[in-house]
């Protein structure tokens, strides 16, 4: 056979569709994740099984391994901070202390969706080598970022406050604690205002302590409701 020494202008290489984490539609159809109409992040835990590298290939085998757990309470705890308003007067500080809670509501939602997709084994059968990141968990987080987060918005924030008598222990003043056991109507506080950033990624909650900080500190908790746009 005689060679013509003409090299091809293009090389054709087959690649896995999972290399692209952005859902793209075509004229006939498109694959798209079915999502819940609303998501309430309260105090639930989500458990799933996987291999050490994040792959989910065989459920029976993976149930013999240590399960992974998502904690709604723990996720909310690490994605917020609470602090006093530095601009308030001494009178307000003593009698109606103004508090601010800053939350990363997008990270809370993203972590929840990640756990739900793992629990439902959405990426079952996909290996790390089938992703551009060579890491299945990174690929899943990118999928959520590109295709799911923009389909939700926060629609409701529930704040729960339980006041605790200092009993003359002034050292505990302003020492407010997170308590995921008080998410009940008896402790619900509706006297607060919220401010969200333009993209809806963060939320600021501002409220006043209803009992004097010289006599009480408080335990607090919150729920977040997201709805599909």
Q: Read off the pLDDT of each residue in 55-83 and give the average, rounded to a whole number.
A: 98
Cα–Cα distance for residue pair 164/88, rounded to 1 Å: 22
For residue 168, what pLDDT is reported? 79
pLDDT at 6: 57
Q: According to the model, what pLDDT value does residue 66 have?
A: 97
Distance CA 23, CA 143 (A): 8
Average pLDDT, the chain: 90
Q: How far apart are CA 226 and CA 229, in angstroms?
A: 9
Are 142 and 110 within 8 A, CB to CB? Answer: no
Higher pLDDT, 18 or 127: 127
Query: How far apart are alpha carbons 53 and 128 in whole angstroms?
Result: 8
The answer to whether the CB of 218 falls within 8 A of the CB of 27 is: no
pLDDT number for residue 195:
97
Q: Is 37 helix (H, G, I), strand (E, B) or coil?
A: coil
User: What is the mean predicted confidence (pLDDT) over 203-210?
Assistant: 98
Structure tokens at 164: 């605790």
Q: What is the pLDDT of residue 94?
A: 97
Instruction: With beta carbons less than 8 A apart as the criterion, state whether 100 and 205 touch.
Output: yes
How wide is the angle at C-alpha 183 spanned by C-alphas 178 and 187, nearest 5°? 90
Mean pLDDT of 217-223: 98
Q: Flag whether pLDDT at 122 surpasses 60.
A: yes
Statement: the pTM of the whole predicted model exceeds 0.75: yes
pLDDT digit string, tens, across residues 10-65: 555 445 556 566 766 554 555 557 788 999 999 999 999 999 999 999 999 999 99
- Residue keyed to tokens 């109507």: 185
Percent of the chain with pLDDT over 70: 86
* pLDDT value, residue 208: 98
The answer to whether residues 45 and 72 touch, using CB atoms and an 8 Å cutoff, is: yes
In tens, the pLDDT along 136-190 reads 999 999 999 999 999 999 999 999 999 999 987 888 999 999 999 999 999 999 9
Closest among 173, 192, 170, 139 to 16, alpha carbons compared: 139
Report the chain's terminal Cα–Cα distance, integer Å: 63
| pLDDT given for residue 28 in this prediction | 52
CA distances from 58 to 54, 95, 125 (A): 12, 59, 8
Q: Where are the domains of the chain?
A: 38-228
* pLDDT at position 185: 96
pLDDT band per the 50, 70, 90 thresholds, residue 219? very high
Q: Output 111 or 28, whichever has higher pLDDT.
A: 111
- Give Cβ neighbours of residue 159 (< 8 Å, ≥ 6 apart): 188, 189, 190, 192, 205, 207, 220, 221, 222
């Amino acid at each position: 056979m005689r060679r013509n020494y003409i090299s091809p202008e293009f090389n054709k290489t087959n690649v896995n569709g999972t290399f692209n984490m952005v859902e793209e539609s075509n004229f006939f159809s498109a694959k798209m994740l079915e999502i819940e109409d609303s998501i309430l992040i309260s105090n639930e835990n989500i458990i799933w099984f996987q291999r050490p590298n994040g792959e989910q290939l065989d459920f029976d085998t993976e149930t013999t391994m240590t399960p992974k757990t998502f904690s709604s309470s723990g996720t909310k705890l690490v994605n917020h901070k609470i602090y006093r308003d530095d601009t308030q007067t001494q009178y307000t500080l003593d009698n109606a202390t103004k508090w601010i809670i800053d939350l990363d509501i997008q990270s809370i939602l993203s972590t929840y969706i990640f756990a739900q997709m793992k629990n439902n084994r959405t990426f079952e059968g996909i290996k790390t080598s089938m992703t551009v990141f060579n890491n299945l968990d990174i690929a899943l987080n990118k999928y959520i970022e590109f295709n799911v987060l923009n389909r939700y918005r926060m629609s409701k924030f529930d704040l729960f406050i339980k006041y605790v008598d200092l009993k003359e222990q002034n050292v505990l003043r302003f020492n407010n604690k997170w308590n995921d056991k008080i998410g009940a109507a008896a402790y619900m506080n509706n006297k607060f205002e919220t401010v969200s950033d333009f993209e809806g990624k963060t939320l600021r909650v501002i409220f006043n302590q209803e009992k004097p900080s010289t006599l009480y500190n408080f335990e607090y908790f919150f729920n977040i409701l997201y709805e599909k746009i």
